[in-house]
Amino acid sequence: MSDKAIRKIVIVGGGTAGWMTAAPLAQKLGKACEIVLIESPEIGTVGVGEATLPTIRYYNQALGLDATDFIKKTQATFKLGTEFRDWGHAGNRFFHAFGNFGPMMENRPAYMYWLRLRRDVKGMPSYEEWSTADAMARAHRFVPPYGDQPSVTNSYSYGFQFDASLYAAYLRDYAVARGVTRIEGMVVDVEQHPETGFVTAVKLRDGRRFEGDLFVDCTGFRALLLEGVYKAGYEDWSAMLPCNSAQAMPCTNPDGPLVPYTRSTAQSAGWTWRIPLQHRMGNGHVYCDGFTTDAEATRVLEGVLEGEALDAPRQLRFTPGRRRKSWIKNCVGVGLSTGFIEPLESTSINMIEMTVGWIVQFFPDRDCSPALADEFNRLLSQRYEYIRDFIILHYKLTNRDDSEFWRYCRNMAVPDILQHQIDLFRESSRVAILDQQGFLEDSWVSILMGHGIFPEKNDPFIDLMDPGYLLDHFHKVRDSIRRAVGAMPDHAAFVKHVVSDDPPGRRAA
């Protein structure tokens, strides 16, 4: 290794962010670099994020985790997407699925042809009937995608719903087994080089001192290093994302099916989540304290519980936004220390995955080139803005006027580029995708049409297709989906077989 190679990494903070950082670094660096993670039992982790995007599977696979062991150890269930209730207007229901609305034709997405039929065919069924993931979710069925050729049996993806604290513990064991040293203690002081300003060591309350070449800030909202030492600054997005409070409250699993999806239900000043795990139900209420009180928020949360409460509500406060810089000198942030966007689309863990991936991609030597930091900061800031706009979309499109909160959301100003994306779809049926690693066309269409935004005009090439042929094609695809889903096992049964090491069909990966 080079004389300037990083020889020691100090990760300050544990939880999901800390251990998701430690695990891949330990795997890749091995004995070439010492890794120390410092966490304090006095500082609680947020750890309410239990639903994930499909990308979590690739993170797990990259670590070589055994899928069955992971599902057992984290009490995981499968997630095909998110069901939205009462968004847009009271009584509304739509599903943001991890998948498409049928195969492309003539290099045009299927939803465009559906829009043509909706215009010409009276009583055309919902576009969601051409989503395999949506059909599976409605029927409470699950198997992983299968088949080598594109078909309805592999036109969807899936993530997981798991206990975030168990996942952190699972990765802790993985990382420690690969040489990471876990230190328990409270950081009370940070030392810096007098000339370069680099962090040289952190000191604990008991007097212990830990030097390092690279420091990773996983201290959550406190951002002990990024903000406490470097005064990185914070870009506040509260005007466009007004929710700033949350309460989390687990309950027992209710009677009824174990559904393979997360549910989000709009409330008068925010929304509530419902996330089914093997051993309990995760529930929470995200809201704006400027439009309701904490006591009223608790009443709303308790009112949506479908099982017996297992704990009192846990109160959280946050400011939506991002750190202006997340890599400064030899300090890089991961997780909440870099920013926070509410968990409406399960993006928090995905942001950790992306951030750790960029740390690996731009891994420095002890000089910590400013150019590497600049590129990391550019990518991370850009990714936060892409996610921000996708989340704003859910609020801005509302037709609700039954509360001051929803009237504010409907009338609030949004970024120009997001307004362009909305206008482009409304006027032409086309979707502008700015982030090819994030939410793609079918996701945007799910939210736009789910809120009742249907284009005024269609792609002219769509009108060249024979309508009789189109209708026959759509009937065949829908019938294929129904047959495929009808042959799938119940989600609860599939989970049970996975954890008993005898899954029906294909084993989850």
Tens digits of residue pLDDT in 410-420 = 999 999 999 99
Where is average pLDDT lowest: 25-29, 277-281, 482-486, 497-501? 497-501
pLDDT reported for residue 502 = 60
Label residue 150 by pLDDT band (50, 70, 90). confident
pLDDT reported for residue 506 = 47
pLDDT reported for residue 32 = 94
* Buried-state track 76-102, b at ≥16 Cβ within 10 A, e below 16: bbbbbbbbbbbbbeeebebbbbbbbbb
Q: What is the pLDDT of residues 176-201, one digit of tens each?
A: 999 999 999 999 999 999 999 999 99
Please give the C-alpha separations between residue 470 and each of 120, 459, 462, in angstroms, as whole numbers.
Answer: 11, 15, 10
- Mean pLDDT value across residues 122-150: 95
- CB-based contact 47:168 (threshold 8 Å): yes
Residue 232: pLDDT over 80: yes
Tokens representing residue 421 in the block: 């994306």
Residue 488: pLDDT over 60: yes
Tokens representing residue 110 in the block: 């299927």
Residue 239: pLDDT over 70: yes
476 given a catalytic annotation: no
The pairing of strands 187-192 and 331-333 is unpaired
pLDDT reported for residue 45 = 62
Rounded percentage of the chain residues whose pLDDT exceeds 70: 97
Residue 206: pLDDT over 80: yes
Q: What is the pLDDT of residues 437-469, one digit of tens each?
A: 999 999 999 999 999 999 989 899 999 999 999
Residue 332: pLDDT over 80: yes
Summary mean pLDDT of the chain: 95
R_g of the chain computed on alpha carbons: 24
pTM of the model: 0.96
Q: Which residues contact 229 (CB under 8 A, 6 or more apart)?
A: 190, 192, 199, 331
Q: What is the pLDDT of residues 112-132, one digit of tens each?
A: 999 999 999 999 999 999 999
Residue 8 pairs with which residues in a beta bridge?
Answer: 34
Amino acid at 331: C
- Which member of 28, 72, 73, 79 is catalytic? 79
For residues 87, 89, 93, 96, the Cα torsion angle rounded to the nearest 10 degrees is: -40
Label residue 49 by pLDDT band (50, 70, 90). low
